[in-house]
Every structure is written in structure tokens, then in C-alpha cells.
A and B are shown apart, each in its own frame.
Chain A
Amino acid sequence: MSSPVLVVDNLATHFFTRDGVVKSVDGISFNVMPGEVLGLVGESGSGKSVTGFSIMGLIDPPGKIVSGSIRLNGEELVGRDDASMRKVRGKSLAMIFQDPMMTLNPVLRIDTQMMEAVQAHEAVSDKAARARSAAALAMVGIPAPEERLSAYPHQFSGGMRQRVAIAIALLHRPALIIADEPTTALDVTIQSQILSEVQRLCAESGTALVWITHDLAVVAGLADRVAVMYAGRIAEQGRVDDVLDRPLHPYTHGLIGSVPGAHLEGTRLHQIRGSTPSLGQLPPGCAFEPRCDRAGPACSTMPVISQASDGRAYRCFNPVPQQGVTA
């Protein structure tokens, strides 16, 4: 078996704000295998983007990676200076953002923005960089790439802009792409086009993908494995089918229950009571405890990570019983 492209081990990223320490990410661990798609789900504010930026080395003050390790192909990324991180960014590690309207610089032409990405990592001529850029645009399905290269971002639709961003991310055939909700801002039809496009491209180039989203349907269709985040920690992770069909953590259970369509028609949608806790003042134990139906006295201490027989990892003292497991 090959070794993972990405190992995140007990990562903690905190923001030292005027109102106190915000523990946006607090002790998360996961691996991504070559070519694998990991879905990172969780509600707004659970720390998904902060996780992505931590891996990219793009956490700015007042934020700081306070502990843990991030290894890309076995090489440690935490603690590197900006110059050596820059050699990794865009080269073996790329990122796509949520809002395609904002990620391309409005006053620079597409060719400028693509060629500089090529030339940041390889000493090639302008001509060669341009050819590479045009090929990348063609790959993501942009018609007439040669002409489109001289256009400005505002001359593209949202979906096309996201394709350009994906083309830029794929320029150096990275080992891993972190996609932070790249389809959330797009129409549903465009969304599914882009999803299948990315899936195909990553499969072709053997690129692993961390797909950040709060949409369980997207995860179900795209990911091999899924990690469910809650308040800066991973509540549960495992193979997509296991986690979505037989959730162990009560939070995952509630999350799946609240998706329309996951229920029998006519029954009420399930709701998780209460609201997301403030990251500045989390309880010492399980952060989900105040909202949890299954909480017991043990839950006021921090649950350790347990392993289930199917390889799943979860943080819970009273996991949801696994009913109807037919082998």
C-alpha cells in the first residue's frame, strides 16, 4: 500500500484576538491517500477553511498554528519560512476558493495571471508559459483558449472563472488540491458540471483532493472518505458510505437527519437543537454535549478518539448504536 500524500497530525490553529483565543482548529488528524478525495464537511464556522489555509501555510496573524504537524509526501510543512513554503504552494499543493468572482484579479488579464503561476515555479519562456496556460484552459473545457487568454476576468461567467481557477490549480499537476467550497457560489447545473470535471481531471492526473463543503449530497457523490468537523474538531471520519449510512457520532446523525430527502416523505425534518457554540468559550468536554440527545455525565470530559471496526475514527462516549448492519 502506498503512503499518504498528506498527513495532518493533531493540528491546532488558534486566533489570538482581542476578545480571547479562538480555537478554530483544535487537534485534528487525518490522512489523504494519493488520488483520493476526502470530503471535509461541517457547518459554518466549524473550522474547515482554517484547516485548508493551515495546510497551505496561509494563516496570517493573529492566527497561528500552535501545535501539530502537516506532512506533504513525508515532508513537514509546519514551521517552514515563507520562502520555502512558496516553493510548495501552487507547485505540489494548490487551492481553489469559494467565490470565483473574487479569486481572479480584476485588473489583470487571464494570461498574466496564468503565466505568472507557471513562471513562479519553472524558468520557462513567456511563449512556453503561454502555451502551457492555453493547454490548461482547453483541459478544463474553455472554448477558444488562445483568444480567451487575452480576456479580463469580468468577461467570463462565474462558472468559467471557476474553471480558470481550476486550470491554474492544475498547472503544475499538484499532488493535492484543497478545494474550499468551489461550487457553492454557482448555479446547480454549473455546479454538477464542475464537480464531474474536477473529478475526471484529478483521476487523470492522480491528484488527491480535499473537498471542503457543507453539502452532504456533494460529499456523497464525490468523496471516497469524509471527515465531519464540529467546532474545530473532527467528530467522525471514515469511508463515505459508512459515515453517511451508519453515522456513529450523534452530530453526524443529526446532520444527516436534517437533510431534506434523507427521510421518508411526509415525516418531519429532524433538527439539531440549539446553535453552534462560540469557539472562544468551548466547554472542557465534548463541544456538542449541550446540543446532544445522547449526552451523559462522561461527556463533560474530552472524549478520546476511538476506532471502529470498519476503520472509522470518532470522538464520542455514546456513539449511535449500529442497527441493521448486514454483512
Chain B
Amino acid sequence: MLAFIIRRISQAFFVVVAMVVLVFFGTYVIGDPVWMMVPGDATQEQIEAVRRDFGFDQPVYVQFFKFLGDVLHGEFGRSYVHGSSAINLILDRMPATLELALAALILAVLIGIPLGLFAGLKPDHPASRSIMAVSILGFSLPTFWVGLMLIMLFSVMLGWLPATGRGPVVSIFGLETSMLSLEGWRHLFLPAINLALLKISLVIRLTRSGAREAALQDYVKFARAKGLSQQRIVGVHILKNILIPIVTVLGLEFGSLVAFSVVTETIFAWPGMGKLLLEAIQRLDRPLIVAYVMVVVLLFVTINLIVDILYSALDPRVRLTGTQS
């Protein structure tokens, strides 16, 4: 188990290094940020001065190593637009985004698994057909459109839920969250559902096909032959088997929830880092973009690591091969 974790961590390290290189050269080629920083009527001398100040006149490799040194110190420079530390700007906004992604993940599991189980175990039931039809919609409708429709229905027409913003936050263990109050959830619910829609569909389909396959297995028939109740067979024998692919996929999808939150945060004016990124891209705020990408990379790598460990905890056969190799 320990060897397994160490191997995964070293793999993760190389992924991060590769991303640092990619991010630097990726942002290097997307245009000259100087033009975004100087006023329109700046003179040539003023422009050159800004260039020198930020080190843009140096050769690429010098800039790269300076960048590398900064990254190693967790320093990504100051936002050209906000003037404050880029990484702090991102980290300040990160809890809101993580909270939104987590809420979406919880909804995807709480809604997707029961519906998927039902559709998988009773494939001919009319409700199962409706579930599958809705999940196709979930896959194909664009997120921003669904977001607007949700606002129109629940905020404008019915007036049940607020359309924008984040609810009151409480600080717990140094983390700020709005998940502890009803008002917080009232604000969180629509954006979370919007963000979760795609994942709900995904979980429904994964669970359904897993359940259909598992229900035909001999171990299910044997469990029935033992006289076990239907709840025990579905809740333990079937669920534990299909949880393996679901946890794996959902874990990997958590990263994409964070990434996709850019759209949802913009629609619902959710004060997360996705919204910040969109503004940074529009204004070519290089340090902010770089800081965002690096934070997301680290997030992805960490999540993958956790998924790997969870996966081996769920599937005893993986544990065995892990110790053998």
C-alpha cells in the first residue's frame, strides 16, 4: 500500500512539472501583456520601462527560470489588473468554487445513484424510461441555457430561490462555507443543480448499466438463494460492486466540475475562482491565469491520488495486485 502511494506521488510530481512548462510557454505565446498594462497613449519609452520592470525584455529561457523559481516558492506575481498577489486572489476565491463543486457532486450522487439503481433493476418500468429520457436531456442541453431556465423558473416566475450570489458564510476550522445555513443552501441549490446536471446524467447511466450487469451475476442469484432481503442484495451486494466505477469516474469528474464552474459561476454571479478566471482571460492577466491553472492542476493531481487510494480500498483485488508488484 505504501509503495503504491509513493509510486503515485512521484507520478503526480512529473505531471506537475510538465504542466509548469506547458503553462509558461502557453501563456508566453498568447500575446504581449504590456499592451494591457499601459494606457493607450503611452510613449515608446514608457512601454519599454514597463517591459523592463516586468522582465519581458529578457530572453525566454531567463524568463522561464525566473518563473520556475517563483513557482517553487508559490509565487505567481501580482495580478496586472488587481495589483495584488495572484495566488492569494485565487485562493481567496477557491473555497466558494470548491463548495459549489462539492455541492454538485453530492447532488449527483444523491440523485444519480437511486435513479440509476431503479432504472437498472426495473428496466421495463415506465418510470425507468422517463429517467433515461431525462438523462439524455441532461447530457445534451447546454449548461448556460439550463442555468438561465432555472433562474427564470425558480427565481423569476416562482420566486422560490434567489437567482444570484452566495449566501451568508460561516467559518469552520478556518474554512468559510455557506453550507451550514438554510439561506446558504437556498443560494447554493440552483447553481449546484445547474453544475451537477451533466454529472447526474453520467451517474444515472453508470449506475444503471452497472446494476443491470450485476443483477445477472451468479453472486446475486446465490445471495437470493441464501434468503437475503432485496434491500440487502441491492444495498450491499450490488451497490458495493458498482460503486467502484462510480467512485473512480466521479473522482476524476470532480476536477471537471471545478473547471466547468466557470460557466455556472458567471450565470449565477457566484463569487468563485471561475468567474475570476474569465475576467483574467478577457484582460490577458497572465499571473492570474497561470496561478489559476497551477491551482487546478494541483487539485486534479491530488484528486486522482485520492481516487486511486479509494479505489484500492473498495476493490480488494486491486489491493492484492498492488502488493504483488
A residues with a Cβ closer than 8 A to B are 56, 58, 82, 86-91, 94-95, 97, 99, 102-109, 112, 116-117, 120-121, 152, 154-155, 165, 168
Contact = CB atoms under 8 A, between A and B. Distances in A.
B226 A168 contact: yes
Contacts of A120: 226-229, 232
Contacts of B217: 102
A169 to B, nearest CB: 8
A90 B244 contact: no
Contacts of A95: 222, 225
A106 B316 contact: yes
Given A152-B316, A155-B320, A103 B218 contact: yes
A117 B317 contact: no
Contacts of A108: 236-237, 240
Contacts of A152: 316-317
Contacts of B314: 107
Given A99-B218, A154-B317, A116 B226 contact: yes
Contacts of A87: 227
15 contacts: A58-B221, A82-B230, A86-B227, A88-B227, A90-B225, A90-B226, A97-B218, A99-B218, A102-B219, A105-B237, A106-B316, A117-B226, A117-B228, A120-B229, A152-B317
Nearest to B215: A60
Contacts of A102: 217-219
B219 A103 contact: yes
B76 to A, nearest CB: 44
B70 interface: no
A104 B219 contact: yes
B223 interface: yes
Nearest to B230: A82
Contacts of B232: 116, 120
A121 B232 CA distance: 13
A105 B241 contact: yes
Given A86-B229, A89-B224, A152-B316, 20 more contacts: A56-B225, A58-B224, A88-B227, A97-B222, A99-B218, A102-B217, A102-B219, A103-B222, A104-B222, A105-B219, A105-B240, A106-B316, A107-B316, A108-B236, A108-B240, A116-B226, A117-B227, A120-B229, A165-B222, A168-B226
A86 B232 CA distance: 12
Given A108-B237, A108-B240, A89 B218 contact: no
Contacts of A90: 225-228
A107 B227 contact: no
What secondary structure prevails in chain B residues at the interface with A?
helix
Contact of A154 (B223, B228, B241, B320): B320
A88 B228 CA distance: 11
Contacts of A121: 227
B92 interface: no
Given A58-B221, A99-B218, A165-B222, A106 B227 contact: no
B225 A58 contact: yes
B211 to A, nearest CB: 14
A112 B240 CA distance: 13
Interface in B225-282: 225-230, 232, 236-237, 240-241, 244
Interface string B134-162: 00000000000000000000000000000
Contacts of A112: 236
B226 A107 contact: no
Nearest to B238: A105
Contacts of A109: 316
Residue among A89, A99, A106 facing the most chain B CB atoms (10 A cut-off): A106
Nearest to B218: A102
A87 B241 CA distance: 26
A224 B189 CA distance: 68
A107 B225 contact: no
B227 A89 contact: yes
B57 interface: no
Contacts of A88: 227
A105 B237 CA distance: 7
A105 B244 CA distance: 14
B315 interface: yes
A142 to B, nearest CB: 18
A106 B219 CA distance: 8
Contacts of B227: 86-91, 117, 120-121
Nearest to A109: B316
Nearest to A102: B218
Contacts of A82: 230
Contacts of B320: 154-155
A107 B243 CA distance: 10
Contacts of A94: 225-226
A105 to B, nearest CB: 4
Nearest to B319: A152
B317 A105 contact: no
Contacts of A58: 221, 224-225
A120 B224 CA distance: 11
Given A106-B241, A108-B236, A154-B320, A97 B228 contact: no
Contacts of A56: 225
B229 A107 contact: no
